[in-house]
């Protein structure tokens, strides 16, 4: 794993350049989209449980708001960098455009390890970050959401802090300042599992097209957080068997298959898959070489390079994470006949249901789980079909097709609106 050297933002710019050629993007539009519109960097002090004051570095990168308010998650991880956040923010622009959501793209993060902090410290860090961002976020301006290392509880703290500071005049109208909130605090049913559910919609569409039967098939999942765990439990309902898993703590196999529900409970209690009773510990190399039908990378970027791609023995890679395949890794997979459903499509279920939450907040409505699920299914299947058709028509891979469709939609708006002044 050459994570240190992985230049994520450069990779995303290269995908942009490649897709730009496919859709004959106006060079001026390409130039504008090659960098974020705004880069906010804040340093803020937080009192630790010991009384010690620590300084934290936080980012909010706002890539584009040509299609609507900036939108995207907030990541808590010790490796958060400016460039990676720029890459992730750009990807949100493509994702929202691809899904036809009235949003632009953004991403934020704080460079720290959330596992090393108490709940009290996490709350104070989250609230001070929200305070430091001030009016750089807002329900019609920039709407954060969960990402790696953050969850619905943290979104509730962001909402509460925003409502009590910047947005105190019109409290209720500010509920939509974040999505991915707990349901009782204005979240929506179906948001928690939405990203994993979207990954599975893509997988079942691929299976339908490839005439592949999920019943009796095998899958492996890297990363057992919100995305990986939900994708795993939903896939198991189709009669597929989870034979290997891994996360920051290491990798496990179970040739007879894990119970993903029990594993999810274990991770909730213990914080990782480590020590799960029916799992046998395996190396990272063994994990990637596990023979299976479907591989779901749902951890971090840059995980599948050429070495992993050469070792992998699967038919399909469905990118639950953002950027899990390097361009070289993806090339090897495609050359070996392994299909790749790209991140901006595969994991777009999360932001899609975030949009449903935001609409419900605006209208003071609460939709049933069935309504949310049905809307998400329609949206995912429509986009999947559009990407596959575009790829066939233009003879490009699915990633470039997804980028191409997004860029085409962005370019149309630039054409109509032109540049101010």
Return the bridge partners of 45, or none.
Answer: 55
Q: How far is the CB of 98 from ligand GLU (least distance, A)?
A: 11
CA torsion sign for 194, 197, 203, 206 is: negative
> Of 230 and 253, which has the nearer Cβ to ligand GLU?
230
Question: Which residues of this chain interact with ligand GLU, rule CB under 6 A?
Answer: 71-73, 95, 145, 147, 179-180, 322, 347, 350-351, 354
Note if 107 is an active site residue.
yes
d(CA 268, CA 140): 33
Residues 6+ apart with CB under 8 A from 420: none
Pick between residue 222 and residue 322 the one whose CB is nearest to ligand GLU.
322
Question: In this complex, which beta carbon is closest to ligand GLU, that of residue 76 or of residue 288?
Answer: 76
Q: Find, among 128, 122, 39, 134, the residue nearest to 88 by Cα.
A: 39
Min separation Cβ 28 and ligand GLU, Å: 28
Please report how close the Cβ of residue 73 comes to ligand GLU at its closest, in angstroms: 3
| Token reading at 248 | 């920051």
Q: Give the single-character DSSP code of 273.
A: S
Nearer to ligand GLU, 214 or 376 (CB): 376
- State the nearest-atom distance from the C-beta of 354 to ligand GLU, in Å: 3
Task: Work out how close the CB of 154 gets to ligand GLU at its nearest, in angstroms, rounded to a whole number.
Answer: 12
Tell how strand 250-258 and strand 241-247 pair up.
Answer: antiparallel
Of all residues in the shown chain, the one whose CB is closest to ligand GLU is 73
Shortest reach from residue 350's CB to ligand GLU, in Å:
4
Three-class DSSP category at 389: helix
- Name which of 187 and 260 has its Cβ closer to ligand GLU: 187
Alpha carbon distance 63, 103 (integer Å):
11
Q: What's the 3-state SS for 203-253?
A: HHHHHHHHCCCCCCCEEEEECCCHHHHHHHHHHHCCCCEEEEEEECCEEEE
Query: Distance between CA 183 and CA 191 in Å, rounded?
Result: 9
Task: Closer to ligand GLU by CB, 305 or 323: give it.
Answer: 323
- CA separation for the pair 393, 418 (Å, rounded): 29
The one catalytic residue among 107, 181, 193, 253? 107
Residues with catalytic annotation? 107
């Amino acid at each position: 794993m050459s994570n240190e050297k992985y230049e994520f933002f450069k990779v995303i710019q290269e995908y942009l350049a490649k897709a730009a050629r496919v859709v004959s993007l106006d060079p001026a539009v390409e130039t504008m989209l090659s960098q974020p519109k705004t880069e906010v960097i804040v340093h803020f002090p937080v009192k630790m449980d010991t009384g010690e004051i620590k300084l934290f570095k936080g980012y909010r990168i706002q890539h584009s708001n040509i299609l609507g308010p900036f939108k995207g998650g907030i990541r808590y991880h010790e490796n958060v960098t400016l460039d990676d956040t720029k890459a992730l923010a750009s990807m949100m622009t493509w994702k929202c455009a691809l899904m036809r959501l009235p949003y632009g793209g953004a991403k934020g993060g704080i460079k720290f390890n959330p596992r090393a902090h108490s709940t009290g410290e996490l709350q104070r860090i989250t609230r001070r970050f929200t305070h430091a961002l001030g009016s750089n976020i807002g329900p019609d301006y920039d709407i954060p959401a969960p990402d790696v290392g953050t969850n619905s509880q943290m979104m509730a703290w962001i909402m509460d802090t925003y409502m009590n500071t910047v947005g105190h005049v019109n409290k209720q109208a500010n509920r939509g300042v974040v999505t991915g909130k707990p349901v009782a605090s204005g979240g929506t049913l179906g948001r928690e599992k939405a990203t994993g559910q979207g990954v599975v919609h893509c997988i079942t569409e691929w299976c339908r097209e490839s005439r592949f039967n999920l019943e009796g098939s095998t899958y492996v999942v890297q990363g057992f957080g919100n995305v990986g765990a939900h994708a795993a439990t939903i896939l198991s309902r189709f009669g597929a068997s989870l034979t290997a898993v891994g996360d920051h703590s290491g990798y496990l196999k179970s040739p007879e298959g894990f119970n993903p529900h029990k594993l999810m409970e274990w991770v909730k209690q213990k914080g990782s898959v480590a020590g799960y009773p029916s799992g046998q510990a395996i190396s990272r190399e063994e994990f990637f070489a596990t023979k299976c039908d479907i591989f779901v990378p749902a951890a971090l970027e840059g995980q599948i390079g050429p070495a992993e791609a050469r070792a992998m023995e699967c038919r399909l890679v469905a990118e639950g994470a953002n950027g899990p395949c390097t361009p070289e890794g993806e090339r090897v997979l495609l050359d070996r006949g392994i299909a790749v459903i790209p991140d901006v499509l595969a994991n777009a279920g999360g932001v899609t249901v975030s949009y449903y939450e935001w609409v419900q907040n605006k209208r003071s409505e609460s939709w049933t789980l069935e309504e949310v699920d049905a809307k998400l299914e329609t949206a995912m299947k429509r986009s999947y079909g559009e990407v596959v058709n575009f790829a066939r028509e233009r003879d490009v891979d699915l990633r470039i097709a997804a980028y191409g469709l997004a860029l085409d939609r962005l370019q149309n708006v630039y054409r109509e609106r032109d540049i101010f002044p």
